[in-house]
Amino acid sequence: MESRAKETAKKTAKKGKNGIVKLIFSRIFIFALLIFLQLLVLFYFFWHVNEQFKIFYDFIRIITVFLVLYIVNEKKSDPTMKMIWSIVILIIPIFGALLYLFVKFQPTSVLLRKRLEVINHRSDNYLEYKTDIKDKLQKDDPLIENLGEYIYKYSGCPPYENSKITYFASGEEKYDYLIKKLKEAKSFIFLEYFIIEEGEVWNSVLEIIKQKVKEGVEVRVIYDGMCSLTKLPMGYFKELREYGIKAKSFNPMRPFLSTHQNNRDHRKNLVIDGTIAFTGGINLADEYMNLKERFGYWKDTAVMIEGEAAKSFTLLFLQMWNVTEKTIGNFDRYLDIDIPYKFPNNGYVIGYGDDPFGKEHVGESVYLHIINTANRYLHIVTPYLVIDNVMMSSLKFAAKRGVDVKIVMPGIPDKAYAFCLARTYYSELIEAGVEIYEYTPGFTHAKMFISDDEKATVGTINLDYRSLFLHFENGCFIYKNKTILDIEEDYQQMLKDSKKVSLIECRNRPVLYKACGKVLRLLAPLM
């Protein structure tokens, strides 16, 4: 027995050593090391400048006051971010001021912003907000029509009728439909995912799209460049191109200090023939379909959009694709598509996209609209809860005016620090009347808002600063569609599988745990 224990210990130690060696020689470690060294050089430079220019200290102080005034009066920035930058600049004037200018005026970010402005301007009129739909919405609910007008103005996606929504309560359900629809593709397939990882799911998808290329179907693939560091071989898009697939890595990670690398493509967008689209929280990796276990049962959701509304997701994909193209392609052949069938009159569907360089935070605005117009209930599921003051105030006000507000969070988190941070918001919300639940079977990765059996949104946008302000995101807003009842039914099942968090439980957490959460909250906009 003792010898067996020693042997097990040796194997464990060997595995640990191998893991350390693997980490040290991994791409992500090398990238992190190079960026860390650049940070040290940058810090040394700023510190040296501080020492050399102490004679101009009073003058620098005056300059920083004007810089802080500029930051405070900046229109689009989040108030919490304004506060953090102001504190840093006032405490460490030269270092803080130069760091702000370094972050704010990154050449790559400026170029990306200008490129997106051109693309969005060129594609503004590709989709039409039909007058008859506008009139119907105005008569049915003016507030929804106002939301439709807003999304169309700032995302280019109008409300649609002739559309069917199918809800998937798990990755497994989506996977079955996804495979079936991919096999039926006739014209083109567009895949845009935050995570694509080699495994059973992606390998099966890859085999189908390789065959589709042989059949003459146009296939394009975009995956995010950060997650590919650990999920895919370097330059994987080149391998895909060998199969005839048009592929690219969005914003690939480079070992250089740049805030541009914060802007990730967090979308999950699959379009088939311009008539079918998938979106939601589910990436193309095995854990999302529970083919491998990471954090208990992986609870995720998605929707399939058939009909007119699928055009919005085609547009969003083409906009992202053209970010790195030398010339902006013609969108007409992919958007000017007749829908050969009519769906029963079943409410409205509005696709929408969000980007960190836009004039508006569309994703947050959609969420706030649902919160502020809820009458009977507001049900939310999110993997992360790192919210700004506006979102916090809106949620509390909804509960205080009698709306049944419930939030489902993971029972087994994927990131311990993010969960610790999220729990710092619990007490304030519960005291206002918001009910918070933790999903005991595992991890909830879904991002959904449901209200009053009339409104719902399913998409990619988490309730944290990164999703709301830094990433490229997308979602699907649904109004007076019977599928909302399916979504709410699934939500009720989630509640049955969850444990309600009490105020006493929040107050009795270990002091050190609560202290860590409070410290992390100061850094919330950076997480």
pLDDT tens digit sequence for 50-103 = 555 555 566 666 777 777 787 777 766 667 777 777 777 777 776 777 777 777
Distance CA 384, CA 365 (A): 18
Q: Which residues contact 488 (CB under 8 A, 6 or more apart)?
A: 379, 450, 453, 456
For the segment 99-124, the average pLDDT, to the nearest whole number, is 78
Q: Per residue in 428-458, pLDDT tens?
A: 999 999 999 999 999 999 999 999 999 999 9
Report which DSSP code applies to 526. Answer: G
24 versus 449: the higher-pLDDT residue is 449
Burial class of residue 234 (count of CB atoms within 10 Å of its CB; 0-12, 13-18, 19+): exposed
pLDDT tens-place string over residues 142-190 = 999 999 999 999 999 999 999 999 999 999 999 999 999 999 999 999 9
Backbone angles phi, psi at 526, to 5 degrees: -95, 0
Q: Determine the pLDDT at residue 282.
A: 97
Q: How far is CA 98 from CA 52, 71, 93, 275, in A?
A: 15, 14, 8, 49
Which ranges in 385-510 belong to alpha helices (H)?
389-400, 416-422, 426-431, 465, 483-496, 503-507
d(CA 167, CA 305): 9
Q: What is the mean pLDDT of residues 14-27?
A: 42
Instruction: List all residues 6 or more positions away from 106 whose beta carbon is below 8 Å from its beta carbon.
Output: 258, 259, 260
Which three-class secondary structure state does DSSP give residue 296?
strand
Whether this model's pTM surpasses 0.85: yes
Among the residues of 263-361, which ranges form H helices? Answer: 310-321, 332-335
Instruction: Report how far residue 115's alpha carbon sits from residue 427's, in angstroms, rounded to the nearest whole number.
Output: 43
Angle at 370 between CA 361 and CA 352, to 5 degrees: 45
Joined tokens for residue 129: 């907000």
pLDDT confidence of residue 4: 38
**Res 329: pLDDT:** 81
Question: Looking at 236-240, 411-415, 423-427, 521-525, which range is the least confident one?
Answer: 521-525
Of the chain, the end-to-end C-alpha distance in Å amounts to 47
Tokens of 410: 């993971």
In angstroms, the CA 15 to CA 12 distance is 5
Helix (H) or strand (E) holding 305: strand 302-307
- Cα-flanking dihedrals φ and ψ of residue 307, to 5°? 110, -155
Percent of the chain scoring above 70 in pLDDT: 84
Pairing of the two strands 268-272 and 448-451: unpaired
Q: At what angle do helices 57-73 and 79-91 cross, to 10 degrees?
A: 180
Task: Give the alpha-carbon dihedral of 261, 267, 273, 277, to 10 degrees.
Answer: 180
pLDDT tens for residues 354-411? Answer: 998 888 999 999 999 999 999 999 999 999 999 988 999 999 999 999 999 999 999 9
Burial of residue 48, with CB atoms counted within 10 A of its CB: 0-12 exposed, 13-18 middle, 19 or more buried: exposed
Beta bridge partners of 351: 476
pLDDT band at 24 (very low <50, low <70, confident <90, very high): very low
Has residue 417 got a pLDDT over 80?
yes
Q: Which of left, alpha, beta for 345 (phi over 0: left; psi -120 to 50: alpha)?
A: beta
How many Å apart are CA 470 and CA 361, to the nearest integer?
Answer: 10
pLDDT in tens, 230-255: 788 888 999 999 999 999 999 776 65
Q: Exposed (0-12), middle (13-18) or buried (19+): which is 392, by Cβ within 10 Å? A: middle
Q: Higher pLDDT residue, 114 or 275? A: 275
Give the amino acid at 495: L
Instruction: Summarize pLDDT for 297-353 with one digit per residue, the tens.
Output: 999 999 999 999 999 999 999 999 998 888 888 898 999 988 878 888 789 999 999
Distance CA 413, CA 77 (A): 29
Task: Work out whether the CA dihedral 195, 201, 205, 210 comes out positive or negative.
Answer: positive
What sign results for the dihedral spanned by CA atoms 439, 228, 331, 156?
positive
What was the pLDDT predicted at 263?
81
Residue 214 scores a pLDDT above 50? yes
* pLDDT, averaged across the chain: 86
pLDDT tops 90 at residue 122: no
The domains found in the chain, sorted by start residue, are 2-105 (no CATH), 110-133+166-341 (3.30.870.10), 362-526 (3.30.870.10)
CA atoms within 13 A on the CB side of 363: 28
Confidence band for 37, pLDDT divided at 50, 70 and 90: low
Closest CA to 423 of 341, 354, 501, 344: 501
The dihedrals phi and psi of 337, each to the nearest 5 degrees, come to: -125, 130
pLDDT confidence band for 426 (50 / 70 / 90): very high
Q: How far apart are CA 252 and CA 242, in angstroms?
A: 20
Query: Which pLDDT score is estimated for 175?
Result: 95
Q: Which single residue is written with the structure tokens 């050399």?
A: 52
Q: What amino acid is encoded at 168 in this protein?
A: F
Angle at 154 between CA 308 and CA 348, to 5 degrees: 30
Residue 442 has phi, psi (to 5 degrees) of 165, -135
